[in-house]
Amino acid sequence: MRDPDGLLARAGVRGNPDRDQHFLVDDRVLDRLPTYLTEIDADTSHILEIGAGTGALTDRLLEAGDRVTAVERDPALAEFLREEFADEIADGRLILLEGDALDVDLPDFSASVSNLPYGVSSEITFRLLPEKRPLVLMFQMEFAERMVAEPGTSEYGRLSVSTQHYADVELVEPVPKEAFSPPPAVESAVVRAIPRNPDYEVDDEAFFLRFVKALFTQRRKTIRNAIRNTPHISGLDDPDAVVDAADEELLSKRAGAVTPVEFAALASLAADVGFDEHE
């Protein structure tokens, strides 16, 4: 197994916090990350890694899976990876995609294990979640706690509802700053997401997620006022019609106390009565 400090030395790079570069160098954490897939018997035939860096995690994923696709946007690091893993690339076990993970065409992967760049972790996560594949991802602790939060807690919000719409999520491991080089300013955490179908029906997923977003922008207001105040976000033509049709008890709640099931029912009602018929 390649030594993470040795990889950093051979690459001749130092992490740049200004470019969101914090290399995971703790052997124990690196060794554990792939096990969060294997312990749930996930398909490891084609593992996707976003933000390969110097390849410390890539090396371990090659041990755990049949094939790995690694995405790296830094040209110097991508060149180093091509040299360091020349044999694995030559035999087809490693595919290197140089570019931004938000722009490149992602392969048909079976699972993803990634130490994400924190600045774009939300956008990348919501690119991966709809693919309905098992994910093991590193986040800032605060972000991870919001992903797994339950209704009625201070961390519960749009991120919780949107994430849990796609998957069962759990925070499987806190990771200290010292596990990275250079250490980030915040604690980190590993989240595992196992795809699932939600225990509610939504006819229009895009509208449901937009509607949830709208109501959480007014999280201090009652649902009644939040619906009325956010048609510019939700796209509703007639928010008052939604308020008139909705359950009074639900309308008096605030978004932080509304369960995903209740959001889904309210979104379905809003879709039925809140749009002009000609649309």
Contacts of 269 (CB under 8 A, 6+ apart): 242, 245, 246
* Residue 22 annotated as part of some ligand binding site: yes
Distance CA 273, CA 79 (A): 55
CB contact at 8 A, 210 and 265: no
CB atoms within 10 A of CB 215: 27
- pLDDT (0 to 100) of residue 279: 46
Q: Is the predicted pLDDT of residue 271 greater than 50, yes or no?
A: yes
* Residue 72 annotated as part of some ligand binding site: yes
pLDDT in tens, 34-77: 999 999 999 999 999 999 999 999 999 999 999 999 999 999 99
Q: Domains for the chain: give ranges and CATH numbers.
A: 4-195 (3.40.50.150), 205-273 (1.10.8)
pLDDT in tens, 165-176: 999 999 999 999
**How far, in Å, are 54, 181, 221 from residue 20 at the CA level?**
14, 11, 35
Q: What is the pTM of this model?
A: 0.93
- pLDDT (0 to 100) of residue 266: 97
pLDDT in tens, 177-215: 999 999 998 999 999 999 999 999 999 999 999 999 999
CB contact at 8 A, 118 and 20: yes
Provide the 3-class DSSP secondary structure of residue 96: strand
* Residue 108 annotated as part of some ligand binding site: no
- pLDDT (0 to 100) of residue 256: 98
- pLDDT (0 to 100) of residue 13: 87
- pLDDT (0 to 100) of residue 278: 43
Q: Which two tokens stand for residue 209?
A: 């997620």
* Residue 100 annotated as part of some ligand binding site: yes
* Residue 53 annotated as part of some ligand binding site: no
pLDDT in tens, 146-156: 999 999 999 99
* Residue 6 annotated as part of some ligand binding site: no
